[in-house]
Amino acid sequence: MIGKHFIGGTWCDSRGSGTIPVRSPDDGAVFAELARGGADDIDAAVAAARTAFEGEWGRTPAVERGRILARTARLIEANAEELAGIEARDCGKPMKQARADITAVARYFEFYGGAADKFHGEQIPYLEGYTVMVKRDPRGVTGHIIPWNYPAQMFGRTIGGSLAAGNACVLKPAEEACLSVLRLTELLQEAGLPAGALNVVTGYGEEAGAALANHPGIDFISFTGSPEVGTLVQQASAAHHRGCTLELGGKSPQIVFEDADFAKALPYITNAIVQNAGQTCSAGSRLLVQRAVLDRFVPLLQERFAALRVGASGDDLECGPLISKTQLERVRSYVERAESDGLKLLAEATIADGASPGGYYCAPRLYGPVPADNVLAREEVFGPILSLIPFEDELDAIRLANGGDFGLVAGVWTENGARQMRVANAMRCGQVFVNGYGAGAGIELPFGGVGRSGHGREKGMEALREFTMAKTIVFNHG
Ligand code: NAP
Ligand code: MG
Band of residue 439 on the pLDDT scale cut at 50, 70, 90: confident
Yes or no: is domain 5-248+454-476 CATH 3.40.1130.10?
no
**Average pLDDT of the segment spanning 226-232:** 98
Q: Where are the domains of the chain?
A: 5-248+454-476, 253-448
The Å distance, Cα 460 to ligand 2 centre, comes to: 27
Band of residue 458 on the pLDDT scale cut at 50, 70, 90: very high
The Å distance, Cα 137 to ligand 2 centre, comes to: 33
| Residues 274-327 pLDDT 10s | 999 999 999 999 999 999 999 999 999 999 999 999 999 999 999 999 999 999
Q: How far apart are alpha carbons 91 and 293 in whole angstroms?
A: 38
Asked whether the predicted pLDDT for residue 472 surpasses 80, the reply is yes
Please state, as a whole number, how many other Cβ atoms lie within 10 Å of the Cβ of residue 345: 12
Task: Provide, rounded to the nearest whole percent, the portion of the chain with pLDDT above 90.
Answer: 99
Band of residue 111 on the pLDDT scale cut at 50, 70, 90: very high
Q: Which residues line ligand 1 (CB under 6 A)?
A: 145-149, 172, 174-176, 204-206, 209-210, 213, 224-226, 229, 232, 247-249, 281, 330, 380, 382
Asked whether the predicted pLDDT for residue 441 surpasses 90, the reply is no
Task: Provide, rounded to the nearest whole percent, the portion of the chain with pLDDT above 70.
Answer: 100
Among 169, 208, 182, residue whose Cα is nearest residue 1: 182
CA distances from 56 to 167, 392, 468, 471 (A): 12, 61, 19, 22
Of the CATH numbers 3.50.50.60, 2.30.30.790, 3.40.309.10, 3.10.310.70, which one belongs to the domain with range 253-448?
A: 3.40.309.10
**Average pLDDT of the segment spanning 411-421:** 98
Concatenated DSSP letters of 406-459: --SEEEEE-S-HHHHHHHHHH--SSEEEES---TTT-TTS-B--SGGGEES-BS
Element housing 60 (H / E): none
Query: Is 380 among the residues known to form the active site?
Result: no
Asked whether the predicted pLDDT for residue 370 surpasses 80, the reply is yes
Q: In what order do the strands lie in the sheet with 468-476?
A: 122-124, 130-138, 468-476
Among 223, 227, 232, 231, residue whose Cα is nearest residue 248: 227
Q: Share the mean pLDDT of the chain.
A: 97
* Residue 253 DSSP SS3: strand
Asked whether the predicted pLDDT for residue 1 surpasses 90, the reply is no
